[in-house]
Structure 1
């Protein structure tokens, strides 16, 4: 097996610290917003339904906590109600 005889150059510690500070300031942490419509798309002529969740639910990689209000298609709202994921308010 062949080895590479060249050595890597390392940057000065001061340069690394200043680079980290710039990248941290350049990318502030943003809260994730819930999409306007969650789950399957609306059918033709359907209007979205707002439901309040009674349990933790993960849809399309997004976590929704109990009490969160989400907009879903009427068919999906019916399925969530049947499975007990919506609050009785």
Structure 2
């Protein structure tokens, strides 16, 4: 069995930088203030994004979304997700 002979270095640099960072809306970049991003196919002309709550795990464009996650999608894609059973029941 191999043993590790290196010693653990103290985490002094991490301990020194414990101040909370606060950021105002004016300090945020412009892209952070944009409308929520749409997942999946892009919106069509004059369409508003629809927020859906997922009932199952879903991977879209390389990103994983867990059950209960709320995502913004195009109305057409929301309809397809409902038909396939990926969205939670609405009230």
Question: What TM-score range do you get, normalising by the shorter chain?
Answer: 0.5 to 0.7
User: As a proportion of its length, which structure holds more helix?
Assistant: 1
* Structure with greater Cα Rg: 1
- RMSD of equivalent CA atoms: 2.1
Q: 4+ residue runs of structure 1 moved beyond 3 angstroms? A: none
Write the mapping of 1:7-86 to structure 2, written as runs, cut at 5 A.
36-86=37-87
- Structure 2: where are the runs of 5+ without partners? 1-5, 14-35
- Structure 1: where are the runs of 5+ without partners? 1-12, 23-34
Match of 1:28 in 2: none
TM-score, with structure 1 as normaliser: 0.61
Alpha-carbon distance in 2 for matches of 1:58, 1:51: 15
Aligned pairs, number: 61
